[in-house]
Amino acid sequence: MRLLFLGDMVGKTGRTAVWDRLPGLISDLKLDFVVVNGENAAGGFGITEDIFLETINAGADVVTTGNHVWDQKEAVAFAGRHDQFLRPANYPQGTPGRGSGLFYARNGARVLVANVMGRVFMHPELDDPFKSAEVILDACPLKEQADAIIFDFHAEATSEKQCFGHFVDGRASFVVGTHTHVPTADTQILNGGTAYMSDAGMCGDYDSSLGMDKEEPLNRFISKMPKGRMEAANGPATICGVGVEISDATGLAEKIAPLRLGPRLAETVPEFWR
């Protein structure tokens, strides 16, 4: 199975780049399943229902989120209406929406996608992500109820991300970090067969500070005083993500490599898909 994960869409330039390029990527790379993190898609803060639906219409099978999931008030209302919209699974019981779901890939495979948020340097501090993952895996084990299992681990600390990867190694197909908006160079397959990347990076303008117009964050670092609101940068976007090939026989990873398309960062498409 061929899986593509795209990192956090930031603002209009990030989401439109994904919408423009994703249909062609699905066709050209013969992708079976696509997950996109959309938590910064609405001006850098949260996501609206229209943006979610447009992302699904472009070819995403699931849209994950993170700590900005509720920044747009309408998300509280629409979260429960769409199975393909995920918020972190370790929110307290009774939170709107869902944190995981079982979906069907284009090749007919059953794909469990789970969205979990870390706790180190993160706000709000949610329930234990390791316990939440254990509950999810116990309910839908790999190669029993699911042919592939994907975790979007939305977290700040690389150490927490790495430990989470080792925690589910051999029980999940792929763990990818989101939130820091900077693609890491540690794509690998862990000892137990789980593909891993600490952060997929963002889909947005890299002439920025994490996808936001750089002037206001720079001012705040220098003066310690805000001059205005943070605004999403609107220059040309680079799409960042990661491609994984998963064994149909075992549900574990066979290949992993980054995908980057656009200006500023060196373009790369996984060699095994060329």
The CATH number that applies at residue 76 is 3.60.21.10
Instruction: Please report whether residue 112 resides in a domain.
Output: yes
Residue 45 half-sphere exposure, CB side, CA atoms within 13 Å? Answer: 7
Instruction: Tell me what pLDDT residue 60 has.
Output: 98
| Residue 28 assigned ligand-binding role | no
Instruction: Please report whether residue 257 resides in a domain.
Output: yes
Instruction: Please report whether residue 221 resides in a domain.
Output: no
Q: In the annotation, is 68 catalytic?
A: yes
| Residue 181 assigned ligand-binding role | yes
Instruction: Please report whether residue 48 resides in a domain.
Output: yes
pLDDT in tens, 190-223: 999 999 999 999 999 999 999 999 999 999 999 9
* Average confidence (pLDDT) over 1-20: 98
Residue-number span of the structural domain to which 129 is assigned? 2-206+237-273
251 — phi, psi (to 5°)? 80, 5
- Find the catalytic residue in 68, 82, 123, 166: 68
Give how many domains the chain has, as a whole number: 1
162 — phi, psi (to 5°)? -65, -45
CA distance readout (Å), 222 to 58, 169, 218, 225: 40, 42, 6, 8
CB 38 within 8 A of CB 47: yes
DSSP 63-123: EE--TTTTSSTHHHHHGGG-TTBB--TTSPTT-SSBSEEEEE-TTS-EEEEEEEE--TT-S
3-class state of residue 128 by DSSP: coil
| Residue 82 assigned ligand-binding role | no
The Cβ of residue 198 has, within 10 Å, a number of other Cβ atoms equal to: 25
Instruction: Please report whether residue 170 resides in a domain.
Output: yes
| Residue 107 assigned ligand-binding role | no
CB 62 within 8 A of CB 102: no
Instruction: Please report whether residue 129 resides in a domain.
Output: yes
Mean per-residue pLDDT over the chain, rounded: 97
Tell me how many degrees the CA angle 248-24-246 measures, rounded to the nearest 5.
15
Instruction: Please report whether residue 232 resides in a domain.
Output: no
Q: Determine the residue type at 244.
A: V
Instruction: Tell me what pLDDT residue 127 has.
Output: 98
Instruction: Compute, in degrees rounded to 10, the torsion defined by CA atoms 145, 119, 91, 56.
Output: -60
pLDDT in tens, 132-187: 999 999 999 999 999 999 999 999 999 999 999 999 999 999 999 999 999 999 99
Instruction: Tell me what pLDDT residue 274 has.
Output: 77
Place of tokens 């680079």: 238
CB 44 within 8 A of CB 230: yes
Instruction: Please report whether residue 182 resides in a domain.
Output: yes
| Residue 37 assigned ligand-binding role | no
pLDDT in tens, 86-142: 999 999 999 999 999 999 999 999 999 999 999 999 999 999 999 999 999 999 999
